[in-house]
Chains A and B, each alone.
Chain A
Amino acid sequence: MAAQSHGGNRFIWQQAVPVLFGIACLFAVVVLLEILIRFGFINRFIVPTPLDIVGSFGRIIVDEHVGSRFLLTFGEALGATALLTVFGISFGVLLHRVRLIRLATETWIAAVASAPLVLMYPLFLVIFGRSALTIIMMGFVSALPPVILKTLEGLSSTRPVLINVGRSFKLTPSQLYWKILFPAALPTIFVGVRLGMIFALINIVGVEFLINFGGLGQLVNELSERYDLPGTYAAICFVILVSVVFFIVTERIEKWLRPGA
């Protein structure tokens, strides 16, 4: 018992020390920045002091309505995710069911995935106007290819033994899909949806920033145009925080769906 406890302590120690060191280094960099800016080594009209940035958090939360902006961005991301899930998975299933369509279009989809689709935002502005619909459609289109490709990958990599078991029970094609193929592919499909959600969020915040419309992206743009430097830095920190939380939550869901992965 004592040896086991000793081993456990050593494991925690080995894990905790690097993490604490990393956090300490981050803290040290922040303190060093504060000192360098206060003593004029870094121009405070280009980089505000960390204390000024922390101080402006309250201001941007209250005056700039960060809560409602967050909900707007979140709503747009949710809308794009719903479209992604419906169209991405449906198209992936279609490609899996009809081999000819798959052979004809899979390389095209992979090629589109590598194209900078977000650059189409002026086109979407013309079609949908300067509205939330443009932002949602931009998030949807630029995140669609990974969802299609991952759905296809998940369905194609279902273990043949599972399909054979289904056939031995004389399942209809529809039953085979809903009882065997789809549940087996679900973890991989979720990886695709998660990737799509991350791409969609990145593009949504990016387009909000570029067209100066919507939630958190617009906040960063507005504050920078007002030359409110501490506010701009604080808003950027807030966007980073939101995307990190979003990333961690989707990662946890993925681990829950794929415990062995």
Chain B
Amino acid sequence: MAETGRLTAPAAAGGWAALPLSRRVLLLRVFIIAGLVVIWEAVAASGLLFRDVVPSLVTVGQALVNILTVADYKANIFGTEIMIPEFFRHLWVTAYEVLTAMLIGGLAGLTVGLALGSNPFLSGAFERFLYYLGPTPKIIFFPLMIMWFGVGPGSKIAMGTLSCFFPVVLSAAAGVRQIDKVLIRVGRSFRVNTWQMVTKIYLPAMREPIVNGVRLGLGVAVIGTLLAETKLSNQGLGYLIINAYTIFEMPRMYALLILLFGVSIAANALVGRASRAK
């Protein structure tokens, strides 16, 4: 018996150590997730918090399935009326607002960034204002956006635009300054015009900083748009979340937050992958 014990203990210890690193990482991840699920369910069952504040994960899962499968909205897609889950209508509204904001804010940021980065005088005159305005909390401008653009999607697009403009402009300006001077001299020696300089030299040479700026801009545009929707709106994912809170449908709120985080992380990863693609 003693012999058996002596042989088993090192074998068990060596068992974990002998596993490949990737397998151990995977197992640890499974343990962490399982641990979190157990803690969550224990808190849900304990009654330590008010009832329904921490609902069972089964209820959250059911809410998630309901949100994605219950077709309760009649949508007109290319002239055909079909029933879809209402979540997708709100997702479309938010996506439209964020993409429009990215288009306006991104293009404006890129143009201003190119001008500042390629002209030291303009950079010295205006870049410090943008640099210091960048980290201010943009949501405080929302009352002004409502006054200027109304309570509809316009004010949410404006919030997203304002949020994403700053990271894009600062990244673009820094990107222009880090371009190899040889490339610029080659362009000048070929007597290319300004448009050709921008499209043939600047933009290809500063792809990485631009994508990084867009990535940062996308993150803050999503936050700006969604926060504006939670404050004053009747459509969009932000509205859905604050509405679930208002009527105290906690499983639905958790499910919506999970979906929102999933979509945001996927969008960010997609832009990140685009930056690494050759």
A→B interface (CB under 8 Å): 15, 17-19, 21-22, 25-26, 46-47, 100-101, 103-105, 111, 114-116, 118-123, 125-127, 198, 201-203, 205-206, 209-210, 217, 220-221, 224, 229, 232-233, 235-236, 239-240, 243-244, 247-248
Contact = CB atoms under 8 A, between A and B. Distances in A.
Interface of B: 21, 24-25, 28-29, 32, 49-50, 53, 120-126, 128-129, 132-133, 135-137, 139-144, 147-148, 219, 222-223, 226-227, 230-231, 238, 241-242, 244-245, 248, 250, 253-254, 257, 260-261, 264-265, 268-269
A46 B148 contact: yes
A218 to B, nearest CB: 11
Given A19-B125, A103-B25, A119-B260, A198 B242 contact: no
Q: Is the interface of B mostly helix, strand, loop or mixed?
A: helix
A28 to B, nearest CB: 12
Contacts of A116: 219, 222-223, 226, 260-261, 264
Q: Is the interface of A mostly helix, strand, loop or mixed?
A: helix
Given A18-B121, A100-B28, A224-B143, 18 more contacts: A19-B124, A21-B125, A22-B124, A22-B128, A46-B147, A47-B147, A115-B264, A115-B265, A116-B222, A120-B257, A122-B253, A126-B50, A126-B248, A201-B137, A206-B227, A209-B137, A217-B140, A239-B137
A118 B227 contact: yes
B135 A202 contact: yes
A125 B245 contact: yes
Given A19-B124, A122-B242, A240 B136 contact: yes
Contacts of B25: 100, 103-104
Contacts, number: 138
A18 B257 contact: no
A113 to B, nearest CB: 9
Nearest to A197: B135
9 contacts: A22-B124, A22-B125, A46-B147, A103-B21, A105-B29, A116-B260, A116-B264, A209-B137, A209-B231
Contacts of A201: 137
A21 B144 CA distance: 28
A220 B143 contact: yes
A118 B223 contact: yes
Nearest to B22: A103
A182 B85 CA distance: 52
Contacts of A100: 21, 24-25, 28
Contact of A198 (B29, B133, B135, B141): B135
